[in-house]
Amino acid sequence: MQLYLDEGYAYVAMDVPGTGRSEGRWDPVSRREGEAVHDLIEYSAAQPWSTGEVGMIGMSYSCWSQWNEARTRPPHLKTIGAFDGATDMYRDWMYQGGIPTQSFLNSWLFGSVLLQHQAQGHEIRGGGRGEVVYDMYAHPFDDAWQRTRSPLWELGEIDIPVFSIKAWGKAPLHLHGNVLGFERVSGSKQLLITGANSFPATQALRPGRAGLLPGLAGRRLHLRPDPQCRRRPLHGVSRVSLASPFTTLDPRRPRSHPPSLNSGVPRDHHF
């Protein structure tokens, strides 16, 4: 945060509905939650300390919130720096290739959300937080409930500049989302995949000045169209490969098999 303050930005953090000190019911990455963030962006843009140009930056859930909120197209949102975040609850978080990903989902919901709220003096099940895990598991197929909580299906609505940043270390969880986010948004865009080779190493990454939001604080809003993709090899720490347009992974490396967009869709459902 201090980096951005030093660069002249005003930094606004939000407790989404049902979390922290916010009222309401927590409905993770739902379109309703995206619309709440939309309202905060428009409110912030209207403040006397604001230039009226707003950007978003953040990792993991804060990244996913960017995909989610940007699909609602707030007029004063000018760019997003989406660092390490999914776009599809069903395939990225719950059923990777049709296989339940119980380990991360449960540890995150209970360890990083419920117990953290309790440690900060909040009711552990307040804001509907205690029901979220059951709501998720009550929808084992890619039904309408799942679709409204997956920004993936509306990424084409995002036409502002996007800088999508990802690391190999969390490939099973978020790489799929950052790549699809890069591919599906309709505006100016860049993709950076960096070489942290483990979950902890990825958590320790800081995009730093490379992640500064373009076009704000008096700079012209533009992302270089070429090259669109920068790929840092997993085992090469000093070399950065450039590619434009986006190319597939090096075939000499183990291949990644992201889940099909048709996985989990009930046969009698049509979207």
pLDDT of residue 160: 96
Which residues make Cβ contacts (< 8 Å) with residue 126, sequence separation at least 6? 18, 117
**25-29, 106-110, 245-249: which range is least confident on average?**
245-249
* Mean pLDDT computed over 207-214: 51
pLDDT of residue 64: 93
Q: What is the pLDDT of residues 71-103, one digit of tens each?
A: 999 999 999 999 989 999 998 888 887 788 777
Is the pLDDT higher at 145 or at 225?
145
Res. 236 pLDDT band, cuts 50 70 90: very low
pLDDT of residue 9: 87
Q: What is the pLDDT of residues 49-69, one digit of tens each?
A: 999 999 999 889 999 999 999
Please give the backbone phi and psi of residue 148, each rounded to the nearest 5 degrees, phi first: -75, -10
Q: Which domains does the chain have, with CATH numbers?
A: 2-243 (3.40.50.1820)
Residue that the structure tokens 């950007």 belong to: 55
- Across the chain, mean pLDDT equals 80
pLDDT of residue 99: 80
Distance, in Å, from the CA atom of 73 to the CA atom of 160, rounded to the nearest integer, reads 9
- Tell me the pTM: 0.77
Res. 253 pLDDT band, cuts 50 70 90: very low
Q: Which alpha helices (DSSP H) does 46-128 contain, by range?
A: 61-70, 102-107, 115-119
Q: What is the pLDDT of residues 3-39, one digit of tens each?
A: 778 888 899 999 999 999 999 999 999 999 999 999 9
Signed CA dihedral, 177, 220, 156, 231: sign only: negative
Q: Is the pLDDT of residue 266 over 70?
A: no
